[in-house]
Structure 1
Amino acid sequence: MTLSLDGTILVPVADPDDGEETATALAPYLAPSSTVLVVNVIEKAGGAPDKASVEQREEYAQEIFERARGPLEDRAGTVETAILFGTDVVETIFEAAVERDVDAVAFEPREQSRFVELLTGNVARRLVKEASVPVVALPRVDD
């Protein structure tokens, strides 16, 4: 059985490499009528000083979106981008998914050690466990 993602797909990406790799992994599953919403969450410090200015983070998000667009442009009917702000990345992703009435959230799990997962709270695990919409974990694409 071949999976085809037709509808609106929210794709959270963390950095330019993640954006390009996730878009490459997603592209084969898209239909010409698919709408892909690529999002980058700018995590607010919740009262503590932020590590970088909002302007710097927004510029970085634009770089992420540029890299993600390439693999998607010929596969999806529409590619949209959005910068999201929140103190919890996973909550912010699902709030946007519900607000924008997406059909699914699709992501490519990034490789990391178990120790790093424990320290960071593992966003991938939380995306699956706390899902309020269908979630698709894409297989990693080999270079």
Structure 2
Amino acid sequence: MTLTFDGTVLVPVADPDDGERTAAALAPLLTDRSTAVLVNVVEKAGGAPDKASVEQREEYAEEIFERARGPLEATDAAVETEIRYGTDVVDEIFAEARDRDVDAVVFTAREGSRFAELLTGSVARRLVKEAAVPVVALPHGDD
């Protein structure tokens, strides 16, 4: 069985390497009827000072999107981007998924230690546990 995405998929991207890696894993699964929506969530501090200015965060998001577009240029899929702002990354991802009425949220899990996951919580785990739409975890391209 070959997996393909013929509709709209939401692709959360956290940093340039993550965006490029996820796009490379996703590209072979897209068709000319696919739309990949790349979304970067700028995590707000919720009352505390933010780590960087909005302008810096938007520039970084554009860098992420640019790197992610690279592997997707070889496809016939449409590519859209969105920057979201909020105190909870997973909530923002699913809000965007609902707003766009996507068919699935697609990601590759970033490597991290179990200890770090316990301290910070895992976005990947929450995406699966709190899924409001189908969630697909793609294997890393080098696996």
TM bucket (normalised to shorter chain) is over 0.9
Q: Deviations over 1:64-103 (max 9, x none)?
A: 0000001112214210001011100000000110111011
In structure 1, C-alpha distance between the alignment counterparts of 2:7 and 2:76, rounded to whole Å = 10
**Secondary structure at the residue paired with 2:84?**
strand
In structure 2, C-alpha distance between the alignment counterparts of 1:4 and 1:76, rounded to whole Å = 13
Q: Which amino acid aligns with 1:91?
A: D
1:24–1:72 Cα contact (<8 Å) kept: yes
**Cα RMSD after superposing both structures:** 1.0
State, as a whole percentage, how many aligned pairs show the same letter.
Answer: 74
1:43–1:86 Cα contact (<8 Å) kept: yes
Q: Which amino acid aligns with 1:124?
A: A
Q: Which amino acid aligns with 2:121?
A: G
Partner residue in 1 for 2:13: 13
Extract unaligned runs of 5+ from structure 2.
Answer: none
2:77 is aligned with 1:77: yes
**Secondary structure at the residue paired with 2:106?**
strand
Structure 1 ranges of 4+ moved more than 3 A: none
Q: With structure 1 as the length reference, what TM-score do the two structures score?
A: 0.97
Number of residues of Structure 1 aligned to a counterpart in Structure 2: 143
1:8–1:34 Cα contact (<8 Å) kept: yes
2:129 is aligned with 1:129: yes
The 5 Å alignment of 1:100-111 reads 100-111=100-111
